[in-house]
Amino acid sequence: MSVGLSTTERIDTERIREQHPIAEVIERYGIQLRRAGSALVGRSPFHADGGRPNLFVYVRSARFVCFRCQVRGDAIAFVQQIEQLSFRDAAQRLDACAVKPLALIVRRPRPFPHGSPVRGDDEVRALAAAVELNANRLLGDERALGYLAERGFSRDLLVRQSVGFAAGDELVPYLAWRNVPASAARRVGLLRADGRERLSGRIVFPEIRQRQPVWVIGRLLAPAADLPRYLGLPGSKPLMGWDQASRDRRGVCVVEGPLDVRLVPLKLMLHLHQGMRG
């Protein structure tokens, strides 16, 4: 006998919230909460916390909010976000807990699995600013857009994957405008010791995990004999595409390079979708 909600059954969200207080739900995922005024505070599981608690839980209103990445909501929304479920599946997961403890039927994902570095707040901001700048710059560079179009990248795909282009002379003033210290960009590896951009003249592919860029790699737009075709940030290289692959349980598609990891899985998913419809 199974316990759950049918696809047509109305979800009694008020009952679910009452039966599963939000602080208890969050603590079942191994997140420690401590009292801070009228709220409970803990480390956010939705991004690299940088050693600073950003998750605030308000017991009276049964809501939570991460003031870093702005993820917020009730207990159902928390389960929905942390487990990458639909609203109905998240409600069903909580509803099943009335029979079976949550800790036995869910797994808490590591914040940054498979090689992603843990960065400080300024370093995360520097990397996010660079990805944003490069993505906007790409949309105005006809040469880079033309090359990517030849490789099969549509404009919509480029926007969704935050693909960018590093012009080489824009990052330092952009960081200053965003009030991000250039020293943080140097620590990440975006800027060399002399202030030049490491990925200048390259199409930049970011690795996004839980809505935060954790690494980038650049491909030369114009080949040069004395420069490597691909160049990433210094330090260990994460397994690219992990966040997307871990959410799709139909299978794993292993590809060779940064361009393929953005393009090939999407073509494969389209093929699978068309096959299921046929």
Q: For the chain, how far is it from start to end, CA to CA, in angstroms?
A: 33
* Residue ranges in the chain modelled with pLDDT below 50: 1-6, 98-115, 265-278
pLDDT reported for residue 101: 41
pLDDT reported for residue 28: 82
pLDDT reported for residue 260: 54
pLDDT reported for residue 133: 94
Same domain for 77 and 152, yes or no, is: no
Number of domains in the chain: 2
Asked if residue 156 belongs to a domain, the reply is: yes
pLDDT reported for residue 238: 65
Same domain for 186 and 81, yes or no, is: no
pLDDT reported for residue 118: 59
pLDDT reported for residue 204: 94
Answer for the pair 49, 41: CB distance below 8 angstroms, yes or no.
Answer: no
pLDDT reported for residue 254: 56
Structure token digits, residue 133: 């700048």
Reported as a single tens digit per residue, the pLDDT across 150-177 is: 988 888 888 888 899 999 999 999 999 9
pLDDT reported for residue 2: 34
Nearest alpha carbon to residue 215 among 203, 205, 200: 205
Asked if residue 152 belongs to a domain, the reply is: yes
Sheet with 230-232, edge to edge strand ranges? 164-166, 202-209, 212-220, 230-232
Same domain for 69 and 131, yes or no, is: no
Task: Name 159's Cβ contacts closer than 8 Å, sequence gap at least 6.
Answer: 135, 139
Same domain for 158 and 225, yes or no, is: yes
Asked if residue 249 belongs to a domain, the reply is: no
Reduced to 3 states (helix: H, G, I; strand: E, B; else coil), residue 62 is: coil
| Predicted TM-score of the model (pTM) | 0.52
Whole domain around residue 216: which residue ranges? 121-238
